[in-house]
Amino acid sequence: MQEDSNPTKEYLFEYISKSKKIPELISKQRFSDAIEEIITNCYDKILTFGKREETVSTLATGLLHYLLTNSMLPSQRKVKHLGIDIDIVIPDLKTLKKDPKKSLIIYIPKTNNVRTIQEKMEELEKIQPEIQNIWTVLCEDMDIKRRCYVLEKQNSSFSKIIFDIAQFVNIAGDSKFKILRV
C-alpha cells in the first residue's frame, strides 16, 4: 500500500535518518529519550506544514510506527474492523477479534474537537469493549475521561507511550512478546 507524500512524515524520517543520536538511543531501548529528542528538534518545524492538530497527529503516527517497528512490539496500522477505522491496534486485529482484553487500540485524532473525539471513542468501544484498552494521543491536554497521551513541545506525556505499550503487551500478551525490559 503506497501512502501519499506528507511533509511532516518526510521531515520526521529525514531527521531520523540523519541523526546519529536517535539510532543510539533506540539501540539502548531509551525510547522516551528518543521521542523527546525528536519532539525537541522537529516539533516547531512540523507546525509550519499545516494545521497543528493534523501535523501533530501525523508526527505521532509516524513516530509510533517507527518506534513500534524498532522496539519489535507487534502492531498493525490503519486497519478496519466491522467498518470502523483503527489507527493502531496492538498486537493485531486477529487478537482484538479473539480476545479484546489482550488488545490495545491507539486513536490519534486529527482534531481537537472534544465532541468529535468522544464520538470516535464511542465507535471504537463497539469493537473494543475493554474501554481501558482504548488510548488516545492528543495535540493538547483536554478532559476526555480516558487514558491519553499529549504530544506537545513542552511537558509531553507522549514520551512514555512506548514504555506503557510494552508494559501492556508484557502483562496482557503472551510471554513470547516480552521484548522490552519494563
User: Tell me: the pLDDT tens digits for 74-119?
Assistant: 899 999 999 999 999 999 999 999 999 999 999 999 999 999 999 9
Q: Per the domain annotation, does 180 fall within a domain?
A: no
Question: Cell 491536554, residue?
Answer: 141
Q: What's residue 174's pLDDT?
A: 55
pLDDT surpasses 60 at 143: yes
Q: Would the pLDDT of 139 be above 60?
A: yes
Tens digits of residue pLDDT in 144-165 = 888 999 999 988 899 999 999 9
Cell numbers representing residue 72 in the block: 519489535
* Domain at 86, CATH number: 3.40.91.80
Task: Establish if 74 belongs to a structural domain.
Answer: yes
On whether residue 126 sits in a domain, the answer given is yes
Q: Domain range spanning residue 26?
A: 7-175
Total of domains in the chain: 1
pTM: 0.89
